[in-house]
Structure 1
Amino acid sequence: MIVFSWLPVKSTLLILSCCFCFSFNLKAQITDDKANDFAKADSMAALYPNHSLINLKELADKLTKPLDTDVDKFRAIFRWVCDNIESDYSFYVKNKAKREKLNDKPEELEQWNKQSNPYFFRRLLHDHKTICSGYAYLVKELCFQAGITCKIIDGYGRTVDANIGGTGIPNHSWNAVYLANQWYLCDATWSSGVIDSEQKQFISQFDEAYFLAPPALFVRNHYPLDTAWTLLKEKPTLHQFLNGPLIYKKLFSYNASPVYPETFTATATKGEKFSFRFNKGSGLEIKKVELQLVQGSRTISVYPKLYTDAEGLTTIDYVFTHKGTYVVHILFNGDYVVTYTVTVSSK
């Protein structure tokens, strides 16, 4: 029996601060219909709720032995981790503050990591609670026990309160997995649920968005320290990543990528047409578009028409009638997909 074999007893593991996906009040894919194609794998994951992590070989065998392909086996592992591990919000807050404070003090940061490791692993092992590093390590170790090649990728995660502009802080971990002779990207932390920012609690809610996600979309809010793990021939720079539009996971369902504005902050002229443009692939149909325009405590919603322009891009036009700076949220079918900040001036 393998007992605690996956815990590095004297590890100097880099525990990243691990940004969460927060609930927002306001294909490099193997399949387009994942939920249906992975019904058997998901059912295997559902057979073992709250299974002990003491013997990972036993858990990996239970999840994967009845399945025929590595793709299905990985899905069962990924789904089990997402459904049975909770994000540790209190530790996240404490760790985030420490990492931001010690970002320019590597020796003190390393010491903090060493001190935190025992708590980090006990919390995962006994309480099934962790931060992104724990999710990524658990996915990797279960894959190892199942004979699947999987790596941990460290880098920058971008959310409503992390890595918006500036020079960036490495704060997140996710996985790359080798399936069917190809590398894929996934993020069990962000697929497992969301943090309710008002209640400050984790809400378990599995989401397909970050399971074997298209690299061109994945890189919009995941930027690896080693850029080879973008899995892209044309890699964005860190500056482009930190200053691009802020996207949300629902955008993945529509397989749409923002083209213009290229940056999170944009300028427009009062009384003149301003366009938001997307490269839209196969995905959910966009039946309704909403722009939420926020100025201070005032929010108005408008519902412009969606059309395909001469360059084949999915386009939304709007004319700003007042000067000022707006936070502009774009919603498809009621789902938040992209946010910009637009400053409107006179001609």
Structure 2
Amino acid sequence: MKAIFVILITLVNICLHAQHYNRVDSVVLAYGRVTSYTELAEKITQDFSTEETKARGIYTWIANNVDYDVKKYRKFIKNKGKKPKRKWKNHYEYEQSVSKKTFRKQKGICGDYSILYKHLCSLCGVECEVISGFSKTREKEIGRKFGEKHAWNAVNINQNWKLIDVTWSAGYVNQEKQLFIRQFNDYYFCTNPEQFFLNHFPRKHKWLLTNKTKDDFKKIPLYGQRYRSLDFETKEPNEGVIYSENETVILQFSNKRKTPNITYKFAKEEYGNYVLPKEKDGNIIVEIKYKKRGSDYLHLYMNGSHYATYKVKRK
């Protein structure tokens, strides 16, 4: 009975938490045209009084108004991530310049998003840091200690540091068309550090906010959005690089609810393959045939959405 009571209280808190953010979001999304980031900071400060609501208001506005600059990103990659050579009097002047430019153009890459977020937080009296590190977003990064360079934020709310990625909350890039698609997703606001770690690794270990290591980051698979929304977790394998035995890849998941529809495909396959999972002792067992001699990437889908990608090798 006590356990049921705890669960009910938790669910109520989650609902109140979501409603709380909905109220903040609705106020910010009704702002209409804002002429400068200083005007935005004034509006945020006037409408919200707590560190949490200010941090949320800034986050929601940026994620819904700043587009990812695909052209600038391609130039960044071409220049191997080198910043333009220009001397600034101090770091604040640099942040101010980047924030002003990003706000005016309403587009940028991860560094621009995170600097604008920090600068607005500073103007609103919220302590915030820009975190530089690496992300894991591509299959070739499976089994590597570091992925692509990336930047995000940590914000201090009620004496507790929380992790935020405004860039990934704004939408995604259609790789085929090289076009940014705006699609607000608030998963990366105050994300649990254990979940945030699955795609982020900071240069400074203290910003992990968890006890994970570089080796842990190297070993994990490439997880998709679906991984975080399903009510079960991977039991085996625990690593991104897996080996087939007797021409078979075996995956096992703990299942708490209804078994999803599971499909898979290897890297060069055009269409997915349906697999009929087995159930044993409350677990889902998936067996996939793998007869290739070399390595390949295995993409796993749950109910049609990307769950995880593994690199498969023959033993």
Q: Give the TM interval when normalised to the shorter protein.
A: 0.7 to 0.9
Structure with higher RCO (Cα < 8 A, 6+ apart)? 1
Distance across 1 between alignment mates of 2:154 and 2:127: 9
Q: 1:273 to 1:193 in 2, by over 3 A?
A: closer
Distance across 2 between alignment mates of 1:147 and 1:121: 16
Q: Hey, what does 1:228 align to over in structure 2?
A: 206
Q: How does 1:1-347 map to 2 (within 5 A)?
A: 31=14, 35-53=18-36, 55-56=37-38, 58-99=39-80, 109=82, 112=84, 114=86, 123-160=101-138, 163-166=141-144, 168=146, 171-232=149-210, 234-237=211-214, 239-254=215-230, 258-270=234-246, 274-277=250-253, 287-294=259-266, 296-305=268-277, 307=279, 309=281, 315-320=284-289, 322-324=291-293, 325-344=295-314
Identity %: 25
Q: Is the 8 A contact 1:294 1:328 kept in 2?
A: yes
SS in 2 for 1:174: strand
TM-score (norm 1): 0.74
- Which shifted more, 329-338 or 187-196? 329-338
SS in 2 for 1:140: helix
Q: 1:342 to 1:167 in 2, by over 3 A?
A: closer
SS in 1 for 2:77: helix
Deviations 1:167-220 (A, max 9, x none): 536611101112233211110000000001111111110012211111111111
Distance across 1 between alignment mates of 2:269 and 2:24: 46
Q: What are structure 2's unaligned runs of at least 5 residues?
A: 1-9, 88-93
Q: CA RMSD in A?
A: 3.2
SS in 2 for 1:202: strand
Distance across 2 between alignment mates of 1:211 and 1:262: 26
Distance across 2 between alignment mates of 1:309 and 1:45: 48
Distance across 1 between alignment mates of 2:140 and 2:79: 15
SS in 2 for 1:159: coil
Deviations 1:91-119 (A, max 9, x none): 0011022126xxxxxxxx46x3539x899
Give the deviation of 1:295 after TM superposition. Answer: 5.4
Q: Is the 8 A contact 1:86 1:128 kept in 2?
A: yes
SS in 2 for 1:65: helix
Q: What are structure 1's unaligned runs of at least 5 residues?
A: 1-26, 101-108
Q: 1:49 to 1:203 in 2, by over 3 A?
A: farther
- Which shifted more, 253-262 or 145-154? 253-262
Q: Is the 8 A contact 1:154 1:170 kept in 2?
A: no
Q: Hey, what does 2:4 align to over in structure 1?
A: none
| Bigger fraction of residues in helix | 2
TM-score (norm 2): 0.81
SS in 1 for 2:48: coil
Give 2:306's aligned amino acid.
Y
Distance across 2 between alignment mates of 1:339 and 1:113: 38
SS in 1 for 2:172: strand
Count of residue pairs the alignment pairs up: 297
Give 1:236's aligned amino acid.
T
